[in-house]
Structure 1
Amino acid sequence: MTATKLKPTLGTLHLWGLAVGLVISGEYFGWSYGWGTAGTLGFLVSTLLVAVMYTCFIFSYTELTTAIPHAGGPFAYSLRAFGPTGATVAGLATLIEFVFAPPAIAMAIGAYLNVQFPSLSPNVAAVGAYFVFMALNILGVSIAATFELVVTVLAVLELLVFMGVVAPGFSFSRFALGGWAGSDTFSPAAISGIFAAIPFAIWFFLAIEGAAMAAEEAKDPKRTIPRAYIAGILTLVVLALGVMMFAGGVGDWRALSNINDPLPQAMKTVVGDNSAWMHMLVWIGLFGLVASFHGIILGYSRQFFALARAGFLPPALAKLSRFQTPHRAIIAGGVVGIAAVLSDGAVNLQGMGLTAAMITMSVFGAIVMYIMSMLSLFKLRRSEPQLERTYRAPGYPLIPGIALALALVCLVAMVWFNPTITVIFVVLMVLGAVFSKLVRGRGAIDPQLATEV
């Protein structure tokens, strides 16, 4: 049988770059759709709620990533805790999260390039991005991770530059003007808007957990992963709050609430259309989108790979290229993403365009996966007390309990406000589970692999 082991080459800095890079496009676009739903102040409440959930989640999730360093991430933890059924739910939810996020990011890349090259179709640019970054991921994880680190550092610096440049034009009164979805803080419309905006608040942090899928490729994962995750979540909370506040307080935030390039448009109100700062933001801002796009391709490919290696998906997806990368898994996710991009204009779910629909679908997968991960943590604490845990969730069981409770609140809100996408998500999960069951029934891969987590 062909070897299917990934090579450990990544250190703490690479893992921090991956954890932050997976997410950082969420600081550049996507989140501003939440303003259209909740207003600036209502969305600030949504974001603070979600930031608490993610902080508690990461401090808890890190226990699982260090105790079970496996490319499957949540799939592997749920397999250990709940067997094949739990693993199927967690694995498919993670796949949906990581396969549906890249089309939204690719479309944002296209929108940013269109600012500089109006004749370039955003869809063509998005498809081109898929081909370029699938190829880079196939060439090797060390090359991919180094590239990810470089573009992530540049993206973080650019967000800091954005805040510095627009700071002189910031006014809290502009940020707060009309900042609730209702007439006042406690109106039914305002409260409803806060919960309806949850998917876009989650977009600020979505996919940070994907760094766990590089655990098999990490050097000394029991030490490097906790450092990378804790530094990563702190970095992202500061950037999310800073970018949102400054972008909303320099002009009419309503003009930014339904577009894919809110930061360049916000900066225009301070420095004008032709400022060198503006052009720098567009060009370097692309690094933020590229960092997440590139990192999430790495993430979804490892999830396909892990599910196939364990016998939950066809074994062909577990094959490695001569560069020791899961090239077939990379291509499989790319085919789905390119098909989604090419459907732009035809997608209109619940009044949403492609970007908002893809974000919402991806968030559904993420929330289900977060719930399964926290349930796995509680289950493994009871069923395997002897499991080596070099890092233990602080404040257990309170901190993981807060993460679980807030994730459940988010899921209920998602279902309530997104009935159409809920149905599509459930259908995808059911079809995926049936397909996975058929693959496992054929015994495509040595069943022993399913227990080696």
Structure 2
Amino acid sequence: MENQTLHKTLKPIHLWAIAVGMVISGQYFGWNYGFTDGGVIGMIIASLLVTVFFACFIFSYAELATSIPNAGGPTAYAARAMGPFAGYVTGIACLLEFVFAPPAIAVSTGAYIHFLIPSVNPVFITTGIFVLFIVINMIGMKGAALIELIATVIALVGLALFYTAGLPYVKLENLAPAGAPPVALGGVLAAVPFAIWFFLAIEGGAMAAEEVENPKRDIPRGFISGILTLAVATVLTLLVTAGLGGGEGKPADYPLPQALSNVYGEGSWIVIAVSVIGLVGLIASLHGIIIGYSRQTYALSRAGYFPKFLSKLNRHGVPVWGLLIPGAIGVVCAGSAAFASALIELAVFGAVLMYCLSMISLFILRAKEPRLDRPFQVMFPVVPAVALALGMLFLFCVVRYSMMVKVMPILGVNIPLWAVVVFIYAAAILYYAARGRHSVSSEKAAFAEQP
């Protein structure tokens, strides 16, 4: 196990920054695609449901993360509760989320810069930013977490500027347009996958659990402060953007500047300022999720699911190949802005599947290991039951309204999203059957029982 131990350097403020930073870009783009499917009212209802879900989920998840502080996060919880194959399935779902979310964020970063400087090619910016932050992540967790903290605080300042500038001009008629059709259940459910983008990846802080100085005390502090920060931001972002007329017309990859420009004009300093700070928010999430996928890949490799070289650390304690190989996939995806929406939906599918499996793991572990040390205990079974019920509803929404009807253009061919997911899981399961299950069997106890 030489050179496979992560360094404990993080405090609660770093964990808060990683959790919020991974998500903060969701305030600046992506969620607004839900206006197309659900309308303003449908998107508001979907966002309220999603906020309730994540509040219940993150309290439940904090119990798992403090009981089993493992870099594998949900993979470790599922492996301990349901066995190595369930851990592997959960780990692949987590990688779907953490590998496809960064290129979607990078695409929006390129769009924001193109909005500010129309002469630049957004594709070059997109791929260049992605590669830059893969390189930055080589410096080690403490330095990466400090960058994440600074970027997250700046991004929150940008949101505060947006709220201050926009709230006085919010019009109630924009929140409930007079000529809008009645709210339909189907529209609300179709908006759910995009409302999830407001909070997507907040659980990624658990993947830094082995690098937290005092995980049993600090993980709940980081997670709970993070969910409270994001819940307030979600309500205000949705209210101001929709209230300024941002729910009308074709969705843009820069909804906050677009909404402000309805009041102040595109060239005003306030619109430019929010656009520039919005870039920092996007960078915070890109940087944070890169941390997340590298640690998930590292954990899967260390457990024997993936080849061993993926868990090799450099002298700064960074899993180099676990950072570079998923990053290369992300860079290729980021090079095509044509399917940014599809990338969001693939990431959301992986996330929701992982959320459901994590809640099932919590229930099984409560029954299977009642004496497991649980430094933080959720209000059981009510809170995790609400999270699981809403998670199953959201999984249906994502499959019904995204996977079954949306496509991803690959090499000029429109491939249904469900077919992309089936291909990924078929390849993963074939690898597990051929190689992974033989490797993990000898290390199963060390992985599942990691303190």
Equivalent position of 2:324 in the other structure:
331
Residues in 1 aligned to 2:297 and 2:192: alpha-carbon distance in whole angstroms:
27
Say whether residues 1:369 and 2:365 are aligned partners.
no
Q: Name the amino acid aligned to 2:152.
A: T
CA contact (8 A) 1:39 1:178 kept: no
Equivalent position of 1:200 in the other structure:
194
Say whether residues 1:431 and 2:424 are aligned partners.
no
Equivalent position of 2:182 in the other structure:
184
Say whether residues 1:116 and 2:116 are aligned partners.
yes
Deviation at 1:332, TM superposition (A): 1.0
- SS in structure 2 at match of 1:440: helix
Q: Name the amino acid aligned to 2:361.
A: S
Query: After the TM superposition, which residues 340-419 of structure 1 pair with which residues of structure 2 at under 5 Å, given as runs?
Result: 340-345=333-338, 354-394=339-379, 396-418=380-402, 419=404
Deviation at 1:327, TM superposition (A): 1.2
Deviation at 1:344, TM superposition (A): 3.4
Q: Name the amino acid aligned to 1:167.
A: L
CA contact (8 A) 2:74 2:354 kept: yes
- SS in structure 2 at match of 1:243: helix
Deviation at 1:264, TM superposition (A): 0.7
Give structure 1 stretches of 5+ with no counterpart.
346-353
CA contact (8 A) 1:70 1:216 kept: yes
CA contact (8 A) 2:131 2:331 kept: no
For residues 216-261 of structure 1, the C-alpha deviation after alignment (integer angstroms, 9 at most, x for no partner) is: 0001011111011111111101101101110111135213x52100
Deviation at 1:308, TM superposition (A): 0.3
For residues 127-183 of structure 1, the C-alpha deviation after alignment (integer angstroms, 9 at most, x for no partner) is: 111111111111111000001001101111110110110122111112211686xx2
- SS in structure 1 at match of 2:248: helix
Task: Name the CA shift for 1:449/1:175 in 2 (closer, same or farther; >3 Å).
Answer: same
CA contact (8 A) 1:13 1:228 kept: yes
CA contact (8 A) 1:311 1:439 kept: no
Deviation at 1:307, TM superposition (A): 0.2
Equivalent position of 2:411 in the other structure:
none
The alignment's C-alpha RMSD in Å is 1.5
Deviation at 1:126, TM superposition (A): 0.9
Deviation at 1:433, TM superposition (A): 2.0
- SS in structure 2 at match of 1:131: helix
Residues in 1 aligned to 2:389 and 2:175: alpha-carbon distance in whole angstroms:
30
Deviation at 1:374, TM superposition (A): 0.4
Residues in 2 aligned to 1:120 and 1:47: alpha-carbon distance in whole angstroms:
34
- SS in structure 2 at match of 1:24: helix
- SS in structure 2 at match of 1:260: coil
- SS in structure 1 at match of 2:5: coil
For residues 253-283 of structure 1, the C-alpha deviation after alignment (integer angstroms, 9 at most, x for no partner) is: 213x521001111111222222221211111
Equivalent position of 1:351 in the other structure:
none
Q: Name the amino acid aligned to 1:137.
A: N
Residues in 1 aligned to 2:433 and 2:194: alpha-carbon distance in whole angstroms:
33
Give structure 2 stretches of 5+ with no counterpart.
405-415
Equivalent position of 1:349 in the other structure:
none
Residues in 1 aligned to 2:100 and 2:37: alpha-carbon distance in whole angstroms:
21
CA contact (8 A) 1:127 1:338 kept: yes
TM-score (norm 1): 0.94
Of 260, 263, 275, which residue of structure 1 is paired with 2:253? 260
Residues in 2 aligned to 1:215 and 1:192: alpha-carbon distance in whole angstroms:
38
- SS in structure 1 at match of 2:219: helix
Task: Name the CA shift for 1:179/1:342 in 2 (closer, same or farther; >3 Å).
Answer: farther
Query: After the TM superposition, which residues 68-147 of structure 1 pair with which residues of structure 2 at under 5 Å, given as runs?
Result: 68-147=68-147
Equivalent position of 1:313 in the other structure:
306
Deviation at 1:422, TM superposition (A): 2.6
Equivalent position of 2:410 in the other structure:
none
Deviation at 1:432, TM superposition (A): 1.1
CA contact (8 A) 1:312 1:437 kept: no
CA contact (8 A) 1:100 1:359 kept: yes
Q: Name the amino acid aligned to 1:436.
A: Y
Equivalent position of 2:408 in the other structure:
none
Q: Name the amino acid aligned to 1:152.
A: T
Deviation at 1:426, TM superposition (A): 2.8
Residues in 2 aligned to 1:36 and 1:438: alpha-carbon distance in whole angstroms:
44
Residues in 2 aligned to 1:4 and 1:179: alpha-carbon distance in whole angstroms:
60
CA contact (8 A) 1:310 1:445 kept: no
Q: Name the amino acid aligned to 2:236.
A: G
Q: Name the amino acid aligned to 1:328.
A: W
Deviation at 1:197, TM superposition (A): 1.0
Of 191, 205, 209, which residue of structure 1 is paired with 2:203? 209
Residues in 2 aligned to 1:321 and 1:176: alpha-carbon distance in whole angstroms:
54
Residues in 2 aligned to 1:92 and 1:110: alpha-carbon distance in whole angstroms:
28
Q: Name the amino acid aligned to 2:419.
A: V
CA contact (8 A) 1:97 1:365 kept: yes
Equivalent position of 1:302 in the other structure:
295
Residues in 1 aligned to 2:56 and 2:437: alpha-carbon distance in whole angstroms:
38
